[in-house]
Chain A
């Protein structure tokens, strides 16, 4: 009898545990993401590529020198992880003190220049309700996009159906263009990176 009771109790406990396991299944949320690669601490401002944002303004990355940056790479047709990546960039932006926000720039750079024209990116920014000061949804030429991705350690490749497999990475860049924080994976904590951005703004103001 005691043995039977024990086995039954054990089965109940195992069932209880399996709920927890199911909840934990797949944590990491990379959803077939490509792992980001290691990077050198070179400034991204050494590149000369031209970029156009969703407002039609043309930039070189060097134009953002002097401001802390949040950079995220995505593509507009993505109905999978990219809207969550954009949300993650937004969550990080939200962590910045209100008075510091105006000093931080957010660059959301597309993998897909064929489809993501400035007009398409404008519609995307509107749909995401992120057509706000400091945010730039940017496109460029293929080599510039590849070069930036390499400097950030973002891996990406186009799949046969017009989609992209890519690393899920939100990057913080200092005023000199050097990567100082990388948040890999979806839905990761952003508090520490937010503090870092506030410190970068403080340092910037002291210079």
Chain B
């Protein structure tokens, strides 16, 4: 009985803390299906893997290994050309530091291109392909920097 009371007290304490944390940094918390590690800082910043294949409804967990990064959609809301499905909502994780993680729920089939705000100029970009892998995105490369264009050319070959 003593143990039960102690256990329930501790459970309440920790459960509350977790709920607060999740409200800070998580979009649609749930079962993780895919993990992307964010590595590097001002040297070789990168998403690993840079291209992931998922299904609509899946959740991606981005884990920051080192440095300061964001996971930001190519979307007019973020002052970038639209490179996610038209029906999907824009996203921006906000700043994420080593030890933090952030979840993204993929809602629609298609290709989602995203970048890291601090390191976009170094080609720090990633791609999520949801659903049919054979779909080739017809995104316009206009308004992308040369390094980002090259990076997406490289990522396209990894499909």
Contacts and interface: CB of A to CB of B under 8 A. Distances in A.
Interface of A: 2-3, 6, 9-10, 13-14, 16-17, 19-27, 29, 31, 78-84, 87, 90, 94, 127-130, 186-187
Contact of B94 (A78, A79, A186): A186
Contact of A83 (B14, B100, B101, B120): B120
Given A10-B10, A13-B11, A90-B79, A187 B95 contact: yes
Contacts of A94: 77
Q: Closest 8 A-B residue pairs measured CB to CB?
A: A187-B94, A20-B18, A25-B99, A29-B95, A26-B97, A129-B79, A17-B14, A20-B21
A147 B70 CA distance: 32
Query: Contact size class for B?
Result: 35 or more
Contacts of A26: 97-100
A19 B145 CA distance: 37
B7 A9 contact: yes
Interface in B57-86: 68, 70, 72, 77-80
Interface of B: 3, 7, 10-11, 14, 17-18, 21-22, 24-26, 41-42, 68, 70, 72, 77-80, 92, 94-95, 97-101, 117-122, 143, 145
Nearest to B117: A83
A23 B42 contact: no
Nearest to A78: B118
B32 to A, nearest CB: 11
A16 B70 contact: no
A31 B68 contact: yes
Nearest to A86: B117
A81 B70 CA distance: 10
A23 B21 contact: yes
Contacts of A83: 117-118, 120
B118 A17 contact: no
A129 B41 CA distance: 23
A20 B68 contact: no
A25 B100 contact: yes
Contact of A27 (B18, B24, B118): B24
Given A16-B18, A23-B25, A84-B95, A127 B3 contact: no
Pick from A14, A23, A127, A128 the residue with the most CB of B within 10 Å: A23
24 contacts: A3-B3, A6-B3, A14-B14, A17-B18, A19-B18, A20-B14, A20-B22, A22-B99, A22-B100, A23-B22, A23-B24, A23-B26, A23-B100, A24-B21, A24-B100, A25-B99, A26-B97, A27-B24, A31-B68, A81-B95, A83-B117, A84-B117, A128-B79, A186-B94
